[in-house]
Structure 1
């Protein structure tokens, strides 16, 4: 017969496993996130992935050819930054409620979480408490 503490621990471990699967699914969806921004004059368009990395840059029409190099570079930086901000907002929104308070989402975006290691560590801590 199991003690109430053992039953609570089993329930906590089931909840942790379910949360792990939920997080893994959410991170899988994040891989599909992209964001595109376009300059006001529609001459420049930039697309970034969920991590904010530039995946496509389009120079439309001929207007951009008349820009001074410094002006063109500044517009490209502005459009890419807008796309990165949009991607960051989309990923933060997708993860809202899933990430524990205090967890650095930016760090997770850079390298991704090691969900297995996180779960194993939690199990190890739980087992220590049971002994």
Structure 2
């Protein structure tokens, strides 16, 4: 049987939870503000990507695209989109990295190369204070 936890310990756990929750809210706001613009080397196309890879703008800063073969223009657009999306993903990974467990490479996760199981501990107990409270009655 677990003994009644100390009110002060519960208040500390609640305060810790609130700080973490506020941090998550701030991170979420920052993720929504990500916007990366990449321009192709010959200034043929410019692409803006948001968090999650959403393309919010495609523009042609010069008339260079008019002199390109369709296949060449398509390749320039595709490459520029990929670079903008990659930059946006990198910014998102940088924002999330501090909140990840130690040893988790968020950049690899965003590229689909990471281990998602590394995000969760094998045991559901994460706080030493919580572990202590749960183990008191044993």
Structure 1 length as normaliser, TM-score?
0.70
Q: Runs of at least 4 residues of structure 1 off by over 6 A?
A: none
Match of 1:10 in 2: 11
Question: Which ranges of structure 1 fall in alignment gaps of 5 or more residues?
Answer: 107-121
RMSD: 2.9
Match of 2:25 in 1: 24
Structure 2 length as normaliser, TM-score?
0.67
* Counterpart secondary structure, 2:56: strand
> Which whole-Å CA distance do the structure 1 matches of 2:14 and 2:67 have between them?
63
Match of 2:72 in 1: 71
> Which whole-Å CA distance do the structure 2 matches of 1:37 and 1:61 have between them?
14
- Count of aligned residue pairs for this structure pair: 110
Question: Which ranges of structure 2 fall in alignment gaps of 5 or more residues?
Answer: 111-125
* Counterpart secondary structure, 1:41: coil
* Counterpart secondary structure, 1:97: helix
